[in-house]
Chain A
Amino acid sequence: MDYGEVLERFEPVLGLEVHVELSTVTKMFCGCATVFGAPPNTQVCPTCLGLPGSLPVLNGAAVESVVRIGLALNCSIVPWCRFARKNYFYPDMPKNFQTSQYDEPIAVHGSLEVQLADGSTFTVGIERVHMEEDTGKSLHVGGATGRIHGASHSLLDYNRAGVPLIEIVTKPIVGAGARAPEVARAYVTALRDLLRALEVSDVRMDQGSLRCDANVSLMPRGSSTFGTRTETKNVNSLRSVERAVRHEMSRQAAVLASGGQIVQETRHFDEDSGTTSPGRRKETSEDYRYFPEPDLVPIALRDEWVQRLRATLPELPWQRRARVQAEWGLSDPELRDLVNAGALDLIAATVEAGAPAGAARSWWVSYLSQQANSRSVELTELPITPEQVARVIALVDAGGLTTSLARQVVNGILAGEGEPEEIIAARGLAVVSDSAELMAAVEHALAAQPDVAEKIRSGKVAAAGAIVGAVMKATGGQADAQRVRELVLARCAP
């Protein structure tokens, strides 16, 4: 069945669950460090190891982060909530229960407006945002793929156990139709950008600090009853989100079209093939036996505290877009191009760092975009910051650099040679602005080309170009050509 046919017969319904690891200094319920990549079981204590007798104490910074996330997603922050225990056995969970929130999430009923590539927007409803703790990491040894199947034993590292985890669950996403995979990807992208702006997480899908599970079901056209959904895990990049959703839609359509039924199950996304496969089916569905966590006391979210946190929210990405568009007088297509190039936030940040909008835009959209393309990376992945770009622009404006020198400085930054000032000094790139030095060079050039000098003196101003060229050569291009020309003309004035 081709994709078009899938959409003719079915309306896809999505539910996206995103888990975010907070970048707090310490874990959710104990004072252990959360540094990525530490040697195994070196960032643990009785609490996150679940040793007998240990107790949790809630990280206040994590609470503030989740409230800010909820506010940024236009959620209502509940006045009171508790933690609950989610009980099940698994070796990566030291207590064999996860301290989470069940029927009392801290934030509910929000929305996120997501912009698609063609400029249209799609509003994704947010059902809930809640706090939980991450599990340890298991290494499965002995199998072919490093996965569970065929493994002889497993090795557990609990460094990650207890790291604060925020779960964001969407309301069913309906009506995206053929664009469902794109909407899914755009949602996760927008969420990632938002969380980055809030500075609450590193949001690195490749490091696991942002994880996405995609729930997909198909509703036959004309029906209003949701179909059976599957949950796909191991979706480790933005591209995978889109591919996984698309694959599931097609797979489910094929099953339903041939008269089969969708099994409600958890599936595993395979990066290489772009397909999903079923996880091991459980005999009985899990009964998590949730009950209020007795070792933690409830959280009372007083209004003035929530408002204080609201005041700490940075300008959120869509707010920035609207403001920038107004300030720079951009048309919608212009704005869209900038957004698609991933340049908007970078330009805005450069402007915030003091650069004029035009120069900022110009640098990012032309020279830096070329650099990004030639290195096959995203603009945001270039090893240069908006602050550095702003400094370079400022140096050019102040006359310390010419445009071509500035490009050399930028190349130096991209090469990791350091800050603009360091590179200028190391490479000797400063504009020669010392009058005496310049005058000397001008004199020298005039003396070397007396016939040209004569022409200038007789009024042929255009001839000055040859002298300027000679001076530029003599100074290794580090003179300000305009200035040199002025000096030449002044020197040759009658």
Chain B
Amino acid sequence: MQNALLEVRGCKVNLRRMGKGEPLLLLHGAQGLNGEDPGLDALAKHFDVIAPDHPGFGRSEDSELVDDARDLALFYLDLLDALNLDRVHVVGLCIGGWVALEMAVTSSARFNSLVLVNSAGIRLKGVPRADMFVCSEDDLLKLLFARPSAADWLKRWRATPELEDIYDRNRAAAAKLSWSPRLCNPKLDRWLHRIDVPTHIVWGEENRLIPPAYAQALKDLIVGSTVATVPGCAHLLHIEAPNLFAEQVSRFIQRVTS
């Protein structure tokens, strides 16, 4: 794995790059990446995985240009320019999925395909969501995971003082992007018909932060998209079931590119 700082619009972005194959931009979720992400390693067997920390998250600088998910989407279109990447596969987790949707409605010409995993971005009225910010840490872990992998995951964040700081930093950065309206752009659903690239939606069956009804709603809004619901997984399914996550992504991409 290569770790490098890439300057985009005056902001130094921490970029992980690993594997060989077609370029795949992985946009992380509210919890960020902590350096031990077996789901990414599994993806790197098939793709040239490009996984930045969003501005304000992880080891990336904060950017004055990025106040919300829409800004971040435009920022990533700039990042693709900076990397001289014409077209990429995009995988978006949670908030990263929301950013991918905002990018795709702006310019789907940069996409080869799109995979949304437990994606934020739209609001389904009347479908209650749990709140990741108000709950206690114990309850948060229960929301993020269906399996007992939560304690290990949290332990990795507590491994060093730097990672502890990054954990807090990610929470603040996630709040900045998604506090209100919580985890969505209420007008985004109006424009999802513009997404004209192959799209696959992967959801944890036990996700209470963004319940599986959202997977169906996204499928209905994005023409030709497909859905896979994963039993025994919640919001961080790429951590709970890394191989299954990578398989969902790589099989879908193989299918649509062959």
Q: Do A and B bind each other?
A: no
